[in-house]
Structure 1
Amino acid sequence: MEGLIGHPTEGVSAVRRTDDGWCVVVDVLELPRIPDTTSLLASYEVQLDQDGELLEYCRIRRYRRGSADE
């Protein structure tokens, strides 16, 4: 993911099988700040085919580290 959008990956928060392959939600660090709890992260939904090749991706959420989901 880092090669695609230029931000370091923090982790994977979801993986789901689809009819065409896989849907993966990847969390990335978009804007590091000090203190770290104020850094901005984003979740990207990534669509992969049956062989793991990228079909598409899009940012679905941007949030501050440590903030709770609503």
Structure 2
Amino acid sequence: MSNTNSTDQSQGSQKTQKSQESRGDDKRSKAEEPRPAPVEVLRQARAQLAELTGLAPESVTSFEQTEDGWALEMEVLELPRVPDTMSLMASYQVDLDQEGLLTGYRRVRRYERGRSDARRPGGR
């Protein structure tokens, strides 16, 4: 009976070791996979934000790679009005991981389409 127990234990430790090795292979294969191209990240970000908010991004006004992935700012039409210059627009900050999957977003600004940013004192 003790021989059976030691066989079961050795088989269990072999399974554990194989499981740990396969997890290590997963980590290596993810690290070896190329990061998505910036254009593909933009496409994914636009699609994901539209799916989550129900609003289609009209433009991307800021795009940068960060330590954790990507950071974007997108302009979205929130409320169409007539005339179009009175439509309400919004600017969204969007964060993505290294694979281009959306990890968070927030509205940072809301404005009428026809309004420009206020000039800063001494600014151009």
Could you tell me which runs of 5 or more consecutive residues in structure 1 were left unpaired when the two chains were aligned.
Answer: none
Q: Which has the higher contact order (CA 8 A, sep 6+)?
A: 1
Deviations 1:26-68 (A, max 9, x none): 1110000000000001011000011101111000000100211
Q: Distance in 2 between matches of 1:66 and 1:23?
A: 26
Distance 1:53 1:8 in 2: 17
Q: Which residue of 2 aligns with 1:41?
A: 89
Task: Give, in whole Å, the separation in 1 of the partners of 2:95 and 2:68.
Answer: 9
Q: Does 2:119 correspond to 1:57?
A: no
Question: TM-score, normalising length from structure 2?
Answer: 0.54
SS of equivalent to 2:81: coil
CA distance in 2 between counterparts of 1:26 and 1:14 reads 7
Superposed structure 1 runs of 4+ greater than 6 Å apart: none
Matched, 1:66 2:114: yes
Q: Which has the higher helix share?
A: 2
Counterparts of 1:17 and 1:53, CA distance in 2: 13
Q: How far apart, in 2, do the equivalents of 1:2 and 1:56 lie?
A: 13
Structure 2: which amino acid aligns with 1:20? D
User: How far, CA to CA, are the matches of 2:117 and 2:64 in structure 1?
Assistant: 20
Amino acid at match of 1:53: L
More strand by share: 1
Look at both structures and tell me which one has the larger radius of gyration over its CA atoms. Answer: 2
* 1:8 to partner: Cα distance: 2.0
Aligned residue pair count: 70
The residue type paired with residue 36 of structure 1 is D
Cα RMSD after superposing both structures: 0.8
